[in-house]
Each structure stands twice: as C-alpha cells, then as structure tokens.
Amino acid sequence: MLHRLRPLPLALALGLGLGAAPALAEEEAPNADTVVATVDGNEITLGHMIVLRAGLPAQLSQLPPAVLYKGILDQLIQQAIMENNFEGELSKAAKLSLENERRALIAGETINRVANVALTDEALQKVYEDTYMTAEAQTEFNAAHILVETEEEAKALIEELNGGADFSALAKEKSTGPSGP
C-alpha cells in the first residue's frame, strides 16, 4: 500500500532546504518529520529526502526542485518496497558494511558535535594553564655554527676561538652558511 502527501509544496521545500515556500503560507510549513509517503506502513519523511539529496552529485542538484523531488521520492519508495520484500538474512559482507557505515556516521556526528562546541577564552586559558603553567622548566639549548668548506679552515677557526676570538664576528666573516657574508 502506497500513500503520497502534498507533492508540490514538499518539492518546493526540498528545493529550498527546510525553509517554507511562499505558497505554503496558509498551511503548516513542512519540516524534516513531514511524511511524504507511506509504504506498507513505513513512513518516508522529508528528512529522509533531504539527507539523500545532500549526498547527490552536484550536477543532479542542479535539476529543478520538482524533478529532483520526484526522483528522490521514487528512489526512496522503490528502496522501501525492496526492503519490505527482502527475504532471508543479509550477507556477512552487507552486515559488516552496515556496521562500518554506522560507525562512520557516529564518528562524523561526534566530530560535528565537538567542532560546534564554543571555545571560550576562559576555557582556552584553563587548558593553557593546566598544560604549560605546571610543566617543569626544561633546559634550552641554542646551537650556533660556522660553516666552512674544508677541515683545514675549521681547524684554523677553532684555534682562533680558543685564542679568544669573538664567535659572532668570526661567523659573519668566515661562515659559508646563513650567518656568513
């Protein structure tokens, strides 16, 4: 048994997202829970259609809302009929695929929820203080190099440094690296 409800206003709503179309002013605006079809007692809602539409390739989203609505609704109705007529058990691969899809959807929802949590300055300051203010100070090292072409040049520079020469001045004068001339 198949029962369809208000196809044109819902087509407009699908084309516009969940916003109400001007033609719907006198009746209640459709929302994600609005039933658009019933197949053997199972309801297909506008929410089902919107989720399916969100996954469509961009070129299909360019279709006029009424055409897109009909195509999506027909697909969902056909899937519901096939689901209702399915006999036996799903294959092991299908069961594993469903488990993977469920896990991926839950992970995505978790990421969305975490991403939507507002990060306040106070919360950020607390994390900083908990992480860095109580950390032990560590020894810092600053490395300095004088790069030269040959070992003989390096040994000559070491002798000059051991004799009290200024490292920075020698680096600027003799280094072939970034600190050199």
Task: Assess contact for 1 and 38: CB atoms under 8 A.
Answer: yes
Q: 82 in the Ramachandran plot: left (φ > 0), alpha (ψ -120 to 50) or beta?
A: alpha
- Res 22: pLDDT: 46
Edge-first strand order for the sheet with 2-4 is 2-4, 35-39, 42-45
Task: Assess contact for 73 and 48: CB atoms under 8 A.
Answer: no
- Res 2: pLDDT: 53
Q: What pTM was estimated for this model as a whole?
A: 0.51
Q: Tell me the mean pLDDT in the region 35-40.
A: 93
The SS3 of residue 101 is: helix
- Reported confidence tier of residue 43, pLDDT bands at 50, 70, 90: very high
Of 82, 26, 21, nearest to 46 by C-alpha is 21
Q: Would strands 42-45 and 2-4 be described as parallel, antiparallel, or unpaired? A: unpaired
- Reported confidence tier of residue 94, pLDDT bands at 50, 70, 90: very high
Where in the chain are the domains? 2-88, 89-140, 142-181
Q: Residues with Cβ < 8 Å from 73, sequence gap 6 or more?
A: 4, 7, 36, 37, 44, 49
- Reported confidence tier of residue 23, pLDDT bands at 50, 70, 90: very low
Place of tokens 């995505």: 108
